[in-house]
Amino acid sequence: MHQNQINIFFKRFNENLNHVPICKFNKKNFKFKPTFIVALPRGASTFLQQLLISSTNIGYISNLMALFWEKPELGAILQKKFRENCFISSFKSQFGNTEGIFEPHEWGFFWRKWLDIKKSDQYFNKKSNVNWKDLKFELISIENILNLPLIFDTAYSNTYFDGINKHLDQPKTIFLFRSPYSVCNSICKARVIKFNNLNTFYAAKPKNFNYIKKIKNPIEQIIAQVWYILEEMLESMSKINKKNYIKLKYEDFFENSNSTIEKLINFTTNDFSLISNVKDFPSFKNRNNIKFFDKRYKKEFDFYYNKYFKGFDYNKI
């Protein structure tokens, strides 16, 4: 069966899931504060989530659960029944996509449905009519089934940060940063690999995308994309109580790996019962060390990077 046929099958399958009876929950509030990851595109949020699900007991959206976006409670029941607590991720992903039924999923179709976003390449809708009450109920239902604190890795947590923070009980937030230079290089490389050109837009968009899409030079467009998303992240971080967030850097997982993982677990679950799994993790490669995507563009890339990031000190975040 081809991938397109599989997608059509699950689309039709989900269209009929509303007829499936699921036990209703009466709880109106989360038992545990959920956690949202806010990160740059190509910023290693999938890697961070793989670390968490392998080293602590936390509820998350697996590839299995993600198939049931119209009835996530059903997916949660199946995940709870079949997933073993000692699951260790393969730590493999390609453009944010993972393979394996218990690997993490960003669950784009679920978030687009609830955030009233019509297109898969759209990341913010000024006219969104979000039913936050029912969305919260859906997430609480998942939490009740898994009986674990939840974590979500979605690009929409950046563009809809204010609404999420206001309507979902001021959740915990992990602000994950990565060297912007490396992120820009990675997006350039991804455009070439996925589309065989630099001109096709790829990955998350900031709220002011209508301005960015007018930039004709693709390298400047990529660097502007990263700059404005980073600005949004820093603005969001400045708005919330410090007890509700932590900031991490991708580089920390290589320079101070054990202490960074412990910090992550302490913030999300405070459950260290699976921390011994860390010894079984494969060795990780620092993807900041990948080669520049195309040396022919290096001078041009550096020019535009300095245009936007001049005076910016990543070490001070």
Question: What is the pLDDT averaged over residues 128-135?
Answer: 96
Does position 206 have pLDDT exceeding 70, yes or no? Answer: yes
What whole-number distance in Å separates Cα of residue 248 and Cα of residue 260? 8
Residue with tokens 């693709």, as numbered in its chain: 218
Structure tokens, 217: 């030079």
Mean pLDDT of the chain: 92
Residue 152: predicted pLDDT: 98
Helix ranges (DSSP H) in 147-282? 156-159, 161-167, 180-195, 209-212, 218-239, 252-255, 257-268
Q: What is the pLDDT of residues 238-271, one digit of tens each?
A: 999 999 999 999 999 999 899 999 999 999 999 9
When pLDDT is averaged across residues 87-95 and rounded to a whole number, the result is 93
pLDDT range class, residue 2, cuts 50, 70, 90? low
Give the pLDDT confidence score for residue 280 in this predicted structure. Answer: 87
Is the Cβ–Cβ distance between 69 and 110 less than 8 Å? yes
Reading the block at residue 91, the tokens are: 């730590």
Distance CA 50, CA 104 (A): 7
The pLDDT, as a whole number, for residue 285 is: 87
Other CB atoms within 10 Å distance of the CB of residue 80: 15
User: CB–CB of 34/154 below 8 Å?
Assistant: no
Q: Rounded distance, CA 65 to CA 72, Å?
A: 6
Whether residue 237 has pLDDT greater than 80: yes
Q: Residue 146 — pLDDT band, cuts 50, 70, 90?
A: very high
How far from each other are the two terminal CA atoms of the chain, in whole angstroms?
47
- The DSSP element (H or E) to which 52 belongs, if any, is helix 45-55
Whole-number pLDDT of residue 282: 85
Residue 150, phi then psi, degrees to nearest 5: -100, 150
Which residues, 6 or more positions from 148, have their beta carbon under 8 angstroms from its beta carbon?
32, 57, 58, 59, 269
- pLDDT, position 236: 97
What's the mean pLDDT in 143-158?
A: 96
Fold of 3-316: Rossmann fold (3.40.50)
| Least reliable range by pLDDT among 12-16, 69-73, 129-133, 148-152 | 12-16
